[in-house]
Structure 1
Amino acid sequence: MGYEDLPTKPKKLDLEYFDEAVTYLRRQPEVKGPGIGIISISHSGGLALSMSYFLSGISATVCINGCNANTAIPLHYKDLIIPPLTLVLKNILFTDSGLLYVCNCLPDPSLENNRASQFPIERASCHFLFAVSEDDHNWNSVFFANQAAATLRSHGKESFQVVTYPKAGHFLEVPYMPNCPSGFHAAVGSEVSFGGEPKAHSEAQLDLWERVQQFFKSHLDNKSRPTC
């Protein structure tokens, strides 16, 4: 978004754009193969989950504080369109400092009228690592990760991990990045609360980075194959 000829405010997200990226990476001599890994956070978690079942060549996917359904903007892949969840605007609250608290604005993806937005990750053949913060104020990432895990489990798949971090906020990034407890939310168009306590958030980032490295080492060497 907003880079060179890419639109600043796209009306849709085209998954074929990312399909080209996967193909490009797999052709590089530095990539051992046979598959590649994805690490994603927040809204990009939805893109990662959709790539995991739509696109070939994905062996391991890390989804950090993501949602198991499409959000914000329609997702297109060939002739298929996955609509975004409809926001429940009445659930927007204000914090004492005047920030918007939007954690409860997304509805339950498993409800009948929301299932068209839910990603069918049970069709994916890769391994998943879901990392979630219990103090995520952007959305209920713990609920979404547990729902994704339940979906996989109900289809006989155990190729996933869920790790939770108490008191950590939305933006779990690489170690030593400061916590971002609030900021401008492009989709909302205003400053919102993102949550997290500095010490707990910092410790979570240290732990998660080690887990991510081990996860990729376990599933991306050239002898590994995705299993259920």
Structure 2
Amino acid sequence: MAVSLSRLLDKAVAGLLRRGLMRPFGIRRGASTAAAASVCISPSPHCLFDAPVRVKVSGLAPLQEVTLRASLTDETGNLFQSSAQYRAESSGELDLSRSPALAGSYSGVEPMGWLWSLAPTQPFKRLVKRDVLTPFRVDLEVLEGHGAPDRLLAKATNERSFLREGTRRIPVREGRIRATLFLPPGADPFPGIIDISGTGGGLPEYRASLLANHGFAMLALAYYGYDDLTKEMKEFHLEYFEEAVNYMLQHPQVKGPGIGLLGHSKGGDLVLSMAAFLKGITASVTINGSIANVAAFLHYKDVTLPPLGFESKRAKINKSGIVDIVDVLNNPLEGPNRKSLIPVGKAEGQFLFIVGEDDRNWKSEFFARTASDLLLEHGKVKPEIICYPGAGHYIEPPFFPLCSASIHFLVGLPTLWGGEPKAHSLAQDNSWQKIQDFFRKHLM
């Protein structure tokens, strides 16, 4: 009852403020509060990156106007920030789980808006975690007033880690394999998954490490641009990926009889190729992947899939100099382009396709539905396709900020990835759980 009366009072006073019939209780510049403001992050200021937290500010004046600013500096020195304007409740408290943001990087009641709305202060930078052994530190500052606030009232830091206590990170260099294995705590076998990233190359570990915290044995697999692997995207041999599959199938802490595959972008078409040609794969997930082999020749025994052709003249450049390449690739169902089509109809196991409907890298929904048609034509189980309106190409784990444009590794220019921040954030949160549910269902 007390809570509801407090909220009614807040609404009444806010109405008087809007009509100019009442002056705000907020502190004037240079004045001081009766009690110092403080920021509380619960259940703990130290958490996993994909875990939500509750942010509360106490000790403000009744209905005081403040700005909440979040700042994160990545491992290469790039700064990402968000800010939103708030008005404290009549109690002098600000609770992001119920207090709406009035304007700024996000609006409305958004308990984690300060994190998912982070944006780079320099254009075309994407937030990527390079060292999963260290956390990201997010500084939360409460500043006096709206507009151009400069007086700091309170500050706290949220440390967001990528490995929970007991999760093991094991570098793998066996035969040709260059990878990192993540094992959850305990000695029991876990469902095993190989995680394959896109055209950026190297060995990204952040998605695999976060999934390992949820009970999966994860192998983050490099395939070029790392260690002694090829430095260029010209041709790949599926035997390398087959070696990684066999490594997981034979590992004592990987539960059989089959493993799962997870791939994003170029990693998505590699996942489909692995499922089509290799044995021991029970469940496959692609995130905005292609049904055709792209960017490099793919060889397996006596079979070669050429890269899908493209027409660079179909690219568009907007007034900001950002390239839109969504129409560049040829249709893999037409003419000689069919040589690049992955024979996914041969694959065994279950499939989940995660699709961002605003993906501007390529036509992910068309690719997913084409894969579904091919599977059904060959008498296979209908795959699950989940389409997310307003989501772009880089569908990441929860709370990673949207990257709507950055330098494309192959294009060499700022390239549009698509997406709207709020819708993209919802897609990341929902798909993260859907991916886990899918693998638990088919690998447990």
Same fold (TM over 0.5): yes
Match of 1:92 in 2: 315
Distance 1:11 1:32 in 2: 34
CA deviations 1:124-154 (Å, max 9, x no partner) are: 0111001111100100101111111111122
Task: Please give the secondary structure, in 2, of the residue aligned with 1:122.
Answer: helix
Higher Rg: 2
Match of 2:259 in 1: 36
CA deviations 1:28-56 (Å, max 9, x no partner) are: 11111100001110011110000001111
How much does 1:89 deviate?
Answer: 1.4
Match of 1:140 in 2: 363
Q: Comparing 90-99 with 208-217, which one deviates more in the overlay?
A: 90-99
How much does 1:120 deviate?
Answer: 0.7
Find 2:276's aligned residue among 53, 61, 64. 53
Query: How many matched pairs?
Result: 221
Find 1:131's aligned residue among 342, 354, 358. 354
Does residue 421 of structure 2 align to residue 198 of structure 1?
Answer: yes
Does residue 248 of structure 2 align to residue 25 of structure 1?
Answer: yes
Distance 1:24 1:155 in 2: 29
Match of 1:120 in 2: 343
What amino acid is the match of 1:36? Answer: I
Task: Please give the secondary structure, in 1, of the residue aligned with 2:254.
Answer: coil
Match of 1:225 in 2: none
TM-score (norm 2): 0.49
State whether residues 276 and 348 of structure 2, in contact with CA within 8 Å, keep that contact through their aligned partners in structure 1.
yes
Does 1 or 2 have the higher relative contact order (CA < 8 Å, sep 6+)? Answer: 1
**Correspondence list, 1:150-161, <5 A:** 150-161=373-384
Deviating beyond 4 angstroms after TM superposition, the runs of 4 or more aligned structure 1 residues are none
The share of aligned pairs that are identical, in percent, is 47
What amino acid is the match of 1:65? Answer: N
Task: Please give the secondary structure, in 2, of the residue aligned with 1:156.
Answer: coil
**Correspondence list, 1:163-178, <5 A:** 163-178=386-401
Distance 1:121 1:161 in 2: 15
How much does 1:60 deviate?
Answer: 0.3
CA deviations 1:77-119 (Å, max 9, x no partner) are: 1221100111111210012311000001111111121111000
Match of 1:82 in 2: 305
Q: Which runs of 5+ in 1 are unaligned?
A: 222-228
**Correspondence list, 1:54-73, <5 A:** 54-73=277-296
Distance 1:36 1:205 in 2: 23
State whether residues 292 and 340 of structure 2, in contact with CA within 8 Å, keep that contact through their aligned partners in structure 1.
yes
CA deviations 1:185-204 (Å, max 9, x no partner) are: 11212210001011100100
Aligned residues: CA RMSD = 1.0
What amino acid is the match of 1:35? Answer: G
Does residue 386 of structure 2 align to residue 188 of structure 1?
Answer: no
Which protein has the bigger helix share?
Answer: 1
Find 2:234's aligned residue among 11, 16, 19. 11
Does residue 441 of structure 2 align to residue 218 of structure 1?
Answer: yes
TM-score (norm 1): 0.94
What amino acid is the match of 1:8? Answer: K
What amino acid is the match of 1:28? Answer: H
